[in-house]
Structure 1
């Protein structure tokens, strides 16, 4: 099924004008990354071969990656001399390799070679895309084959946290596996467009659709809107934070945050600050979490497949989480919130039934 694209670099709600079917003869519409390839060909980031093929299952070389990144970032690809002993001026990729190296996107090796024909691995790809896209924040993920002493460790955590890449069901990342042209196209497209980031959500995910705007009614009648945007900035310094969720109201300052999910939990994180776990997996009634988290109250799953009515619709598959009264906090009433697959938190009420937060609209 064709994906509907949304241009989020300025305003999430603006739709991207669909380009004609541009994918090559060997990329049928049912190919896994057809839409991503089609999208990038339309933006002239990638091209096919003279025989009208794209060869999506061919391994990407370092030279090809330099060309794709160069076109994506608008670098000067004019053939030129480079500082690498194995990349001559006559090389088709020499201009892009030189420009990408100067911009800090791709680096060579200590022996002054670039190794243009070497395959790009998933670890290499993580480092490159961490340089190309704005990805300053990350959640430390528990891949069985990724350790903190690996060169790509931080980059892998970042690009997975920003939904550019994803691991495998066996909880591995396989950083030494080669990347194909189709896979690399998917990674690039996800870095550019939230609609493709949605494809990285795991099955039965509680993450929201990154192409939608969600509206919530607060207890004082104020409407809080939440959208996924690239226009996020750290308030204190103005530092760009890349794609994040933004909460905004008519009168209050905007708040930016991440919505992350692993096989173990769903959490909300604030830039260079705390992460608050809102749900733990597998979901089981009676499970207690945030026991030792100084940033979040102890919470308990008190219901599964619960029916909850909101201003948007009535959900019949909500997970109810209860946060009991904290005796150390004056006037604390405790509260419950309701999590729904694909919608996140749809409603929060205190233990007396007063509604604090409620989903009312999605557009």
Structure 2
């Protein structure tokens, strides 16, 4: 017999992941005296044991990052066993050579595919466009952005990868609305992109930018809205409602939607079905719950800001999933009506 949908004791991960304290920053700074920008991102990776810097105590943030170094950092973060991977067949990478195991494992996992001439070029310098491809493939990221860079055309093979990174607020462009996909990356920049994926607190989105968004940008957020379905011990559907992806790949929904069931699933706008492991936190009075998927979702979090920033009469767009439908979109105006009960809440 199946057990009830479990309550997970993971309260500490709500909206934040193991943030680096000021003491940690001071320690990392003493190890990396040459780090003057992307400090939070670099210190975070150091705290997580993903980077160590050079033997002289410096990190070398301005040093170009090599293609092999990038996949080494990613595989270390993933905790992947690099043994027994099949030979990827790159002309310039041979069994026993430095980095062979990491390159072979990255190719097996679909993170890299090499260059058209059959080489991998492990000592080649990584570009911003290549970085987008590697990160999206490594972490199976999904999503797209309505923003268009003038130097990344839809016909460009790297276009969907760049758009996905932007949707996750991992990478932004330059003031002249370029992404510069062929620009070489340095170690500091790559550390920043990787850290932003791992810790939502480090991402580039600015909450002040959420106001006055064009309608197409708002509608594009339906990729972060899901349909929640709850089933009983007989696998009968007993409840259905809307939810949305929040920080650190958790899903928020109404408490009444997931109360009393045995198993629950989230269905994305693309039709992906995500099994939910349990409830991280809930508040029955406010009718809200946070759910943890069994695996990382890969879709971007819905950008949020305080209810206090909403003004009465402002135009709003509502996403909902009436029974039998998913992610319907309705325009309206905010009444900003609230109520208080006998407790004053």
TM-score surpassing 0.5?
A: yes
How much does 1:89 deviate? 3.0
Distance 1:183 1:322, change over 3 A: closer
1:114-263 to 2 correspondence within 5 Å?
Answer: 114-197=120-203, 200-202=204-206, 204-206=208-210, 227-232=246-251, 233-234=266-267, 237-239=272-274, 250=284, 258-259=301-302
User: Would the aligned equivalents of 1:77 and 1:94 in 2 still touch at CA under 8 Å?
Assistant: no
Q: Which has a greater percent of strand?
A: 1
How much does 1:111 deviate? 2.9
How much does 1:320 deviate? 5.4
Q: Paired residue for 1:75, among 69, 76, 80?
A: 80
How much does 1:74 deviate? 1.2
- Which moved further from structure 2: 7-16 or 158-167? 7-16
- Which moved further from structure 2: 175-184 or 19-28? 19-28
- Uncovered stretches (5+) of structure 2, i.e. residues with no partner: 1-9, 212-242, 252-265, 292-298, 317-330, 341-345
User: What TM-score do you get using the length of structure 2 for normalisation?
Assistant: 0.61
SS in 2 for 1:41: helix
Matched, 1:44 2:52: no
Between the two structures, name the one with larger relative contact order (CA 8 Å, sep ≥ 6). 2
Distance 1:183 1:259, change over 3 A: same
User: Would the aligned equivalents of 1:66 and 1:93 in 2 still touch at CA under 8 Å?
Assistant: no
Q: Provide the rounded CA distance (Å) in 2 between the counterparts of 1:9 and 1:105.
A: 31
User: What TM-score do you get using the length of structure 1 for normalisation?
Assistant: 0.58
How much does 1:62 deviate? 0.7
User: Would the aligned equivalents of 1:27 and 1:34 in 2 still touch at CA under 8 Å?
Assistant: no
User: Would the aligned equivalents of 2:249 and 2:301 in 1 still touch at CA under 8 Å?
Assistant: no
Matched, 1:321 2:314: yes
How much does 1:77 deviate? 4.2
Distance 1:32 1:102, change over 3 A: same
- Uncovered stretches (5+) of structure 1, i.e. residues with no partner: 1-6, 208-223, 261-267, 269-309, 324-333, 338-347, 350-354, 359-363
Q: Provide the rounded CA distance (Å) in 1 between the counterparts of 2:200 and 2:119.
A: 36
Distance 1:69 1:254, change over 3 A: closer
Q: Provide the rounded CA distance (Å) in 1 between the counterparts of 2:42 and 2:313.
A: 41
Q: Provide the rounded CA distance (Å) in 1 between the counterparts of 2:101 and 2:154.
A: 34
Distance 1:112 1:230, change over 3 A: same
1:153-200 Cα offsets, whole Å, 9 max, x none, are 001111100111111111111111011100000000010101101xx1
Partner of 1:287: none
Distance 1:322 1:89, change over 3 A: closer
Partner of 2:32: 25
Q: Provide the rounded CA distance (Å) in 2 between the counterparts of 1:63 and 1:128.
A: 11
Q: Which has a greater percent of helix?
A: 2
Distance 1:109 1:239, change over 3 A: farther
Partner of 2:232: none
1:261-283 Cα offsets, whole Å, 9 max, x none, are xxxxxxx9xxxxxxxxxxxxxxx
Q: Provide the rounded CA distance (Å) in 2 between the counterparts of 1:8 and 1:160.
A: 29
User: Would the aligned equivalents of 2:315 and 2:332 in 1 still touch at CA under 8 Å?
Assistant: yes
